[in-house]
Amino acid sequence: MFFLRFACRHFDTSTSQSISYVVPGRRRNSLPAATGFTLVELLVVIAIIGVLIGLLLPAVQQAREAARRMQCVNNMKQIGLAVHSFHDTFNGLPPATTGNTGVTLWAVLMPYMEQGNVYGQLDIEAPGGVDACTNASHIGASAAAAASANYSVLRNTVIGGYLCPSRRSAAEGKNSKGVPVGDYAIVIAGTEKWQFWKNPSSQLQALRVAQTSDDKNLIAISNSPVTDAIDNPNGGWRPRDTLARITDGTSNTMIVGEKHITAGFLGLCCRADRGPNGSDGYLYWNRSNGPGGYGEYWVAGSVNYGLARSPNEGVGLSVNSSPALGSWHPGACNFLFADGSVQALAVNVNSNVLISLGGANEGNVVSLP
């Protein structure tokens, strides 16, 4: 109040001074006409503008998130097209992984994601990386050399289409170990949440492990010293299933979803036990003993543990007891279905519905409205 009074007085004196200076002697006859706006009028206008901006800004932010979600859906749609292109080329669904030590779906789909140049440099039958289990004494010298060559190519291959813009940009597509990460997860509906390459007959989801003539790709290769190598375990792999296996209907079966990453653990990898920072690992390589983590959590997620409702889901819990699927979009998580469509599921979807949608041929047919 004092400030206002002071301001008005100041205004008056300055006006009278300026008038008396320009037209001396007329001060008494003409009123000091209010040629400008008063301070209060200006304040009111500024306040109105402020309120309008305050109303508008959240709407702008929501529009930006809606655009990012749309781009995220589009990425999944492209993955769906890639899966169908693969099916047309090889007469079978792309594998979730080529084997225990093999590369994942995300490397197999590269030629159909406009990454043919990278794919051309790979030996797709070899592992995607090197560790204690993919050296010459375990998988043979030539496969180990090919794995090493694959790793040097793949570790620099960040694909924007595998990242959800609501979560991160392509510039942030590598984790703390310096290897590419992804935001989408292969839907797993088997009873096992980890080691989904093992025992394919127990796996109910659409995308299963690849097939080889001798099933060497299903053998658990452990860290321990071995006497004789399982030579090139994923050599000669081919698709295990066709779309015909999806008897629940391709529109009722999810194949890829959004991977849940607990807030605060984004881009962090990896830990020997199964804390939440195990899930943002290496995108192209399925290996339980990958660069210090657990391969399945990097590339896949089980429907048996529900959907994460917010980025805070799973704080303080093992990844074995918290949801593996979930998005950072508010209230919904997008899923790619086997028919190529992408649909959003509410985060509080009934767990039986989620499990039924994950299974390809278990007989529980659930249609989304």
Partner 1 sequence: MKSIYPMQHSSFLKSALRMFALASLLACAAGCGGSSMHPVIGHVHFTDGSPLKTGRVMLDGGDANTSSWGLIHPDGSFQVGTLDVDDGVPAGVYRVYIENAMSLPPDNWGDRDFTPKLLIHPKFMDPEQSGLSFEVPGKSTPWEIVVEKPPKSR
Residue 56 touching partner 1 (CB under 8 A): no
As a whole number of angstroms, the distance between CA 107 and CA 113 comes to 10
As a whole number of angstroms, the distance between CA 127 and CA 147 comes to 5
Tally Cβ neighbours within 10 Å of residue 220. 11
Residue 1 touching partner 1 (CB under 8 A): yes
DSSP H or E segment with residue 152: helix 141-154
Sites for partner 1 among residues 157-196 (CB under 8 A)? 194-195
User: Applying CB under 8 A, which of residues 128, 314, 358, 359 lies at the interface with partner 1?
Assistant: 314
User: Applying CB under 8 A, which of residues 40, 46, 67, 141 lies at the interface with partner 1?
Assistant: 40
Distant-in-sequence, close-in-space partners of 276: CB < 8 Å, separation ≥ 6: 261, 262, 265, 314, 315, 317, 318, 319, 322
Are 253 and 357 in contact by the 8 Å Cβ rule? The answer is yes
Residue 366 touching partner 1 (CB under 8 A): no
Region from 20-28, 85-93, 211-219, 318-326 binding partner 1, contact rule CB under 8 A: 318-326
User: Applying CB under 8 A, which of residues 97, 212, 217, 288 lies at the interface with partner 1?
Assistant: 288
User: Applying CB under 8 A, which of residues 61, 202, 348, 367 lies at the interface with partner 1?
Assistant: 348
- The DSSP secondary structure of 34-93, one letter per residue, reads --S--HHHHHHHHHHHHHHHHHHHHHHHHHHHHHHHHHHHHHHHHHHHHHHHHHHHHSSP
Cβ-in-10-Å burial (0-12, 13-18, 19+) of 105 comes to: buried
Kindly state the number of chain residues that form the binding site for partner 1, as judged by CB under 8 A. 43
Residue 321 touching partner 1 (CB under 8 A): yes
Residue 38 touching partner 1 (CB under 8 A): yes
Q: Kindly give the pairing relationship between strand 254-258 and strand 332-337.
A: antiparallel
User: Applying CB under 8 A, which of residues 18, 23, 39, 367 lies at the interface with partner 1?
Assistant: 39
User: Applying CB under 8 A, which of residues 223, 242, 247, 367 lies at the interface with partner 1?
Assistant: 223
Instruction: Give me the phi and psi of 97, to 5 degrees please.
Output: -155, 160
Instruction: Give me the phi and psi of 88, to 5 degrees please.
Output: -65, -35
Cis before residue 270, ω within 30 degrees of 0?
A: yes
User: Applying CB under 8 A, which of residues 306, 328, 329, 337 lies at the interface with partner 1?
Assistant: 306
Region from 149-157, 168-176, 252-260, 343-351 binding partner 1, contact rule CB under 8 A: 343-351
Residue 64 touching partner 1 (CB under 8 A): no
Residue 318 touching partner 1 (CB under 8 A): yes
- In the complex, least distance from residue 311 CB atom to partner 1, rounded to whole angstroms: 9
Cβ proximity to partner 1, 75 vs 356, nearer residue: 356
Tell me, rounded to whole angstroms, the distance of Cα 154 from its chain centroid. Answer: 18
Cβ proximity to partner 1, 34 vs 171, nearer residue: 34
Residue 220 touching partner 1 (CB under 8 A): yes
Residue 349 touching partner 1 (CB under 8 A): yes
User: Applying CB under 8 A, which of residues 305, 328, 335, 337 lies at the interface with partner 1?
Assistant: 305
Residue 304 touching partner 1 (CB under 8 A): yes
Cβ proximity to partner 1, 140 vs 314, nearer residue: 314
Are 124 and 98 in contact by the 8 Å Cβ rule? The answer is yes
Q: Which two tokens stand for residue 346?
A: 């509410």
Number of H helices, E strands in the chain: 8, 5
Task: Report the interface residues with partner 1, using CB under 8 A.
Answer: 1, 4-5, 8-9, 12, 38-40, 43-44, 47, 194-195, 220, 222-223, 272-274, 288-289, 294, 304-306, 309-310, 312-314, 316-318, 320-322, 331, 347-351
